[in-house]
Structure 1
Amino acid sequence: MSESLNGKIAVITGAASGIGLATTEMLLRNGATVVMVDFNEAALKELTAKLGEKAIPQVTNLIDPESCAAMVPEILQKVDHIDILYCNAGTYIGGDLTETDAASIDRMLNLNVNAVMKNVHAVVPHMIERGTGDIVVTCSIAGHFPTFWEPVYASSKWAITCFVQTMRRQMIPHGVRVAQVSPGPVVSALLADWPEENLRKAKESGSLIDPSEVADALEFMLTRKRTVTIRDMLVLPTNFDRV
């Protein structure tokens, strides 16, 4: 038995492209209102004009501490409550550790880990007060095994797996579900930073999935009855393990 998303209010970070945009479109089709969070103001303006009045723009720079801290309070001035928080924004570093630099490592950990923790920290009191809510985070298959060609990225996703699964347990008494979705390689801007040889092999073998496949997984997770939590869903290209 599934529950309706009609009338729900969702917040999605990294909503202007890729998985975030595909999930926005899925939720709108299901009758939800979506607050689209992104730092790209021009893209948000164009997208919300096209998607209609149930798509609400929220310009936030998640790696700026003040902008990140202001996100939830600003959103609650635009909508009366938040049913769903989908922490999807992230970035990628591939290759050997010696090939990157300290500033890039800081930026990745700030966006992939710190911003997620801060966003969840900000919304949890609101959801606890209401006695309901859903928090979902985009993890990765890289958060489940040591991907040697992307140690910084994989480590950020291992951290997120731990955070999500500990918070899931903390929130059970409050009626708030916490979960993650762990895609394999998705056709998105992040692939531009993949090692060239890995990307070539993935393309040639059909080992990539579209963002809409991840959005479909989110639809299944969010429509389960409240007594059911899909704690993690791995969404892989069929040929992934042959890359």
Structure 2
Amino acid sequence: MGSKLAGKVAAVTGAASGIGLASAEAMLAAGARVVMVDRDEGALSGLCSRHGDAVIPLMIDLLDPSDCATLLPRILETAGQLDIFHANAGTYVGGDLVDADVSAIDWMLNLNVNVVMKNVHDVLPHMIARGTGDIIVTSSLAAHFPTPWEPVYASSKWAINCFVQTVRRQVFKHGIRVGSISPGPVVTALLADWPAEKLQEARDSGSLLEAGEVAEVVMFMLTRPRGMTIRDVVMMPTNFDL
């Protein structure tokens, strides 16, 4: 990828693992400095050792409102500017609604919806003042299909899909592009409760995506000419059957 993002500063939430890590590493490979936002201090420290000064670690608990509000000031304090924001942090609640833990519902909706909205709200004034910027939100295939086995999770992603489309229409006049990626099942920590044999079977059958494949799409979106916005990319394994 060389220097496609040279001189850019990106920030990625949930950057210590999964899609967030793959996205951050793809941007690093393209020449960006990356603020890696996560609450896992140990993982962030290891990533700094691996990638050097191009990584700026930022330990934040996004579910703590006061901590969440420090996101942009701390990015600007350490990096001086923000060109790209990837709102990736999220979690999953599946299964029948009647069996769901209501505290888990609150936790998931706060992270998947409220935190994304607050983070984007906070970074927009900086991008508007500079007249440029890219915002990408990790959504899901579930935002486009009423998945019967995950009503809570799917609802959070339908909300984010609407959020992306409406915010994009408010800010494109400021030179800001807003888009989302909507992958099908990806091999990340969200699949940690899958039995090992089921996970391997799904991989062997071509019904799972790898986080790096999602990161390639993120890079495609970021490197289009400024006059083009990729609003949403739905990506799924070829052998995936809804």
Aligning the two structures, in what range does the TM-score lie when normalised by the shorter sequence?
over 0.9
Aligned: 1:213 with 2:213: yes
Query: 2:70 is paired with a residue of what secondary structure?
Result: helix
Cα separation, 2, equivalents of 1:204 and 1:79: 42
Q: Kindly report the root-mean-square deviation, in angstroms, between the aligned alpha carbons of the 2 structures.
A: 1.9
Show structure 1 runs of 5+ residues with no match.
Answer: none
Per the alignment, residue 114 of structure 2 pairs with 114
- Which residue identity lines up with residue 76 of structure 1 in the other structure? L
Deviation at 1:192? 2.4
Deviation at 1:203? 4.4
Query: 1:6 is paired with a residue of what secondary structure?
Result: coil
Alignment of 1:75-90 (within 5 A): 75-90=75-90
Deviation at 1:204? 5.7
- Which residue identity lines up with residue 83 of structure 2 in the other structure? D
Per the alignment, residue 160 of structure 2 pairs with 160
Cα separation, 2, equivalents of 1:196 and 1:96: 23
Cα separation, 1, equivalents of 2:97 and 2:200: 21
Deviation at 1:195? 9.8
Query: 2:69 is paired with a residue of what secondary structure?
Result: helix
Cα separation, 2, equivalents of 1:62 and 1:194: 26
User: CA distance change for structure 1 residues 197 and 141 in 2, over 3 Å: closer, same or farther?
Assistant: farther
Deviation at 1:196? 10
Structure 1 residues 78-137: Cα deviation after superposition (integer angstroms, max 9, x where no partner): 011100000001000110011211110000000000000000000000000000000000
Per the alignment, residue 63 of structure 2 pairs with 63
Per the alignment, residue 231 of structure 2 pairs with 231
Cα separation, 1, equivalents of 2:68 and 2:74: 10
Query: 1:77 is paired with a residue of what secondary structure?
Result: helix
Per the alignment, residue 33 of structure 2 pairs with 33
Alignment of 1:117-156 (within 5 A): 117-156=117-156
Structure 1 window deviating more from structure 2 (3-12 vs 158-167): it is 3-12
Cα separation, 1, equivalents of 2:156 and 2:201: 24
What is the identity percentage for the equivalent residue pairs of Structure 1 and Structure 2? Answer: 61
Deviation at 1:197? 11
Cα separation, 1, equivalents of 2:195 and 2:149: 8
Residues 93 and 193 of structure 1 are in contact (CA less than 8 Å); yes or no, is this contact kept in structure 2?
no
Aligned: 1:190 with 2:190: yes
Query: 2:228 is paired with a residue of what secondary structure?
Result: coil
Residues 92 and 193 of structure 1 are in contact (CA less than 8 Å); yes or no, is this contact kept in structure 2?
no
User: CA distance change for structure 1 residues 197 and 91 in 2, over 3 Å: closer, same or farther?
Assistant: farther
Per the alignment, residue 73 of structure 1 pairs with 73
Cα separation, 1, equivalents of 2:195 and 2:118: 30
Deviation at 1:205? 2.9
Residues 131 and 174 of structure 1 are in contact (CA less than 8 Å); yes or no, is this contact kept in structure 2?
yes
Cα separation, 2, equivalents of 1:201 and 1:49: 34
Cα separation, 2, equivalents of 1:199 and 1:79: 39
User: CA distance change for structure 1 residues 50 and 73 in 2, over 3 Å: closer, same or farther?
Assistant: same
Per the alignment, residue 46 of structure 1 pairs with 46
Residues 94 and 194 of structure 1 are in contact (CA less than 8 Å); yes or no, is this contact kept in structure 2?
no
Per the alignment, residue 177 of structure 2 pairs with 177
Show structure 2 runs of 5+ residues with no match.
Answer: none
